Chain A
Amino acid sequence: METAQETIQQNEAKTDTSKTLFKGTGSQVLLNGLIEEGVTTIFGYPGGAIMPIYDALYDYADKLEHILVRHEQGGIHAAQGFARASGEVGVVFATSGPGATNLVTGLADAQIDSTPLVCITGQVFAHLLGTDAFQETDVINITTPVTKWNYQVTDAKEIPEVLAKAFYIAKSGRPGPVLIDITKNAQLQVEEFPAYVKCNHIRSYRPKPKVRMQFIEEAAALINAAQKPFILFGQGVILGKAEAEFKAFIEKTGIPAAWTIMGEGAIPTSHPLNVGMLGMHGNYGPNVLTNEADVIIAIGMRFDDRVTGRLDKYAKQAKIVHLDIDPAEIDKNVKAEVGVWGDCKETLPLLTNLVEEKKHEEWLAKFRAYNQEEIDQVITPELYPTSDEMTMGEVLRVINEITGGDAVIVTDVGQHQMVACRYAKFNNTRSNITSGGLGTMGFGLPAAIGAKYGAPDKTVIAIIGDGGFQMTPQELGTIMQFGAAVKILILNNRFLGMVRQWQQLFHDKRYSFVNITSPDFVALAKSYYIEANKVDERANLRNALETMINHDGAYLLEVMVGRENNVFPMVPQGMSVSEIRLK
């Protein structure tokens, strides 16, 4: 902690010294620090080793809203939803032992999807560390691979510095989850603490570099010479809060832009240069034309295998320009001709200055031609089915018609997730919240609760499959108690649909343990005093969705959809993006 302390001492010299010392417990100084960092909402669950912090929290009810979740995994997913919807750091409290280990899935999810979180876990007394004390686990070592940074506090004097460092690390550079494990003695320890000072520098940590113009110039030269340039954008645009800079860049260059599911919504769905979704269940044109583009400009995306398909047949003809804030991503999966390391909020305007104004009409027409083919063969039958069975796509179409694309859509993982990402309309950034990298079933419901706190003025719709819902249904209790007005839409095909689709296509239809039964979801919701309804006929669909969305408060709607519908297009695993199948 030498570094943080030194920095803070330096800063202190400059800032106002009139603030008096605060005398209190480690717990109190922790909560004061959270307030200083602008935290208003905490998702958590108490327990033995974090009781002093909860005791202090009792007196902070007017400043800090604590949402009592029903399981720590629900707490961390809620914090993720909060962070993704609001752009702020999500905060989680959990106790030692099982409380802390229950955070691991959410930490892994936040780590791979770059979500800024600060998790505070209680720990046994310092003198009991290593004795296999009650509810002792080695939380630091368990969470090391799934945190951007973690630290164990055993002395209250460390708390302000460590907390300041945690917030700085969580939200700067490529964001990520941070965990602070605080032993019970440190929570109880009474000290005189100096005024809280935010951290803005750690000598061993370089969140972003000074941009080197040489690479901007090289990138601009490639872009200006390109005949068939293609932009791939990811969540980096959203995390960098660079949506406006990104829009200016694509509009000046006239380059078609396609998104990863984490980048969806950075520009509106309806933008004429938005050509759709990349990857395994992405759109036809963006996948096929990846292998035809001469220059690919990747912005804040990491060439995940679900995006690239078979790597040695991926965009081999193209020169790649890769803009990323994380230097470890440049040249990781795909070799870049020019790597532009930096914050896209800074690099994009520099690049926009140097690129020529262009329209790529012929090239765009190719995307439109592929799109038409996809509309005819896939999209129209999905959105306007002629059979009696309802499709997931038509449910999304009706939602779009009702919300106009202004809702925050939170999804779980599976077929419904791909359908939602493919068909939901988004007018605004931070509106698509999904578990992209980790693919965490059970993410949807708790993340939607958090998203509602993060974006209280928005309609938040959680779209969840019958399988995923049964992984974290206990969070209905959180909704019941705290009233988050989440619209829960269960798309029930009575199967673990995505696995079933793979078994059908690649395992000779051997449906191995994908046939899942469900409880009466309507009765379940009602047992939590949440309004609910079920639809199994098309004739009632619109009405039921309107009732759900317009209802004052939380609502659960179960829609029965076709059992064995598949999500297409699809790039089968191990195939090239240009070998994408329409059926």
Chain B
Amino acid sequence: MSTQDTLKHKLDHTDADGKQEYTITVYAENRIGLLNRIAIIFSKRKINIESLNTSPSEIDGIHRFNIVITEGYEVVRKLARQIEKQIEVLKVYFNTNDEIIWQELALYKVSTDEIAEKVTVERLLRQYGASAVVIRKDYTVFAVTGHREETDALVKALEPYELIEFVRSARVAIIKDSAGFHEKLKEFEAIEPGEELIENEFLDKGEKIFTM
């Protein structure tokens, strides 16, 4: 097998080694049932969604989904095409972690007595970038915004002090090279289709993701 053949083979059958975290960004109409339509594209292929966030986007009336999965490039590319095929989906992008800025929010509820006795709140706040959201006689709620490792670190730190409740939000992500969706939307609203690039594939990394 030549190197090229090996490469082609790899592209056809992405192996486990090629898997990494991808954040899929979906711009879509805000319509009942669309979440299900998107979710079953993953479940049909027995792919687990690790994180899913729906929110408004920079444009009024257009929703933005952030979906995180761990898969190979080929699988993600095909998923993105299938999602984009849905009638109410405008556009789908997929990015590796180095191409996005992302955050997750975590909340931690601990006993105020416990924490006051055994640790200094100040140290917690400083070391983990946490903020105290609520301080009551019976409990205190801390919040941390950051990457998974950062929010996990505080879970570890609080474990000895009876972590009463813990919750972490889905990932929200901004694409570093995105110029937003405003210009793109004009193209979608035009009756005649424009020359469309299948963007993720025809653009080299580092170049702008949005091209008009």
Contacts and interface: CB of A to CB of B under 8 A. Distances in A.
B72 to A, nearest CB: 14
B12 A335 contact: yes
Interface residues of B, number: 35
Contacts of B87: 148-149, 169, 202, 204-205
A19 interface: no
Interface in A38-63: none
A550 interface: no
Contacts of A202: 87
A145 B41 CA distance: 8
Contacts of A359: none
Interface in B53-89: 61, 77-78, 81-82, 84-85, 87-89
A212 B199 CA distance: 14
A312 B13 contact: yes
Interface string A421-461: 00000000000000000000000000000000000000000
B191 A341 contact: no
Contacts of B176: none
Contacts of B90: 203-204
B195 A209 contact: yes
A15 interface: no
Interface string A187-230: 00000000000001111111011101000000000000000000
B40 A144 contact: yes
Contacts of A349: none
A72 B13 CA distance: 41
Contacts of A212: 195
Contacts of A204: 28-29, 87-90, 188
A206 B77 CA distance: 18
A327 B92 CA distance: 13
Nearest to A145: B40
Contacts of B188: 203-204, 206
A209 B13 contact: no
B6 interface: no
Interface string B176-203: 0000000001001101111110100000
A140 B33 contact: yes
A208 B37 CA distance: 21
A20 interface: no
A208 B192 CA distance: 10
Contacts of A551: none
B32 to A, nearest CB: 8
B88 A312 contact: no
A302 B160 CA distance: 57
Contacts of A332: 78, 81
A208 B194 CA distance: 10
A480 to B, nearest CB: 40
B195 A210 contact: yes
B11 interface: yes
Contacts of A327: 81, 84-85, 198
Contact of A144 (B29, B36, B185): B36
B148 interface: no
B9 interface: yes
A311 interface: yes
Interface in A126-154: 140-141, 144-145, 148-150, 152
B193 A341 contact: no
B198 A341 contact: yes
B9 A312 contact: yes
Q: How large is the interface on A (under 10, 10 to 19, 20 to 34, 35 or more residues)?
A: 20 to 34
B192 A210 contact: yes
B196 A210 contact: yes
Contact of A209 (B44, B84, B85, B193): B193
Interface string B87-100: 11110000000000
A377 B82 CA distance: 43
A509 to B, nearest CB: 34
A13 interface: no
B12 A311 contact: yes
B147 interface: no
A365 interface: no
B8 interface: yes
Contacts of A141: 33, 36
A543 interface: no
Given A208-B193, A209-B196, A210-B194, A328 B40 contact: no
A222 B37 CA distance: 38
Interface string B12-32: 110000000000000011001
A540 B9 CA distance: 56
B29 A2 contact: yes
A201 to B, nearest CB: 5
Interface in A365-396: none
A245 to B, nearest CB: 20
A208 B11 CA distance: 27
Q: Which of A2, A203, A209 has the most CB of B within 10 A?
A: A203
B29 A145 contact: no
Contacts of A3: 29
A206 B87 CA distance: 8
Interface in B32-55: 32-33, 36-37, 40, 44
Given A2-B61, A335-B12, A145 B44 contact: yes
Nearest to B40: A145
Nearest to B189: A203
A109 interface: no
Q: Which of A150, A169, A328, A341 has the most CB of B within 10 A?
A: A328
Given A202-B87, A327-B81, A335-B12, 8 more contacts: A3-B29, A150-B33, A204-B29, A209-B196, A327-B84, A328-B82, A331-B77, A332-B78
28 contacts: A140-B33, A141-B36, A144-B33, A144-B37, A145-B40, A149-B87, A152-B32, A203-B185, A203-B189, A204-B87, A204-B88, A204-B89, A204-B188, A205-B87, A206-B196, A208-B193, A209-B193, A209-B194, A209-B196, A210-B194, A210-B196, A212-B195, A312-B9, A316-B8, A328-B82, A332-B78, A335-B8, A341-B198
Interface of A: 2-3, 140-141, 144-145, 148-150, 152, 169, 200-206, 208-210, 212, 311-312, 316, 326-328, 331-332, 335, 341
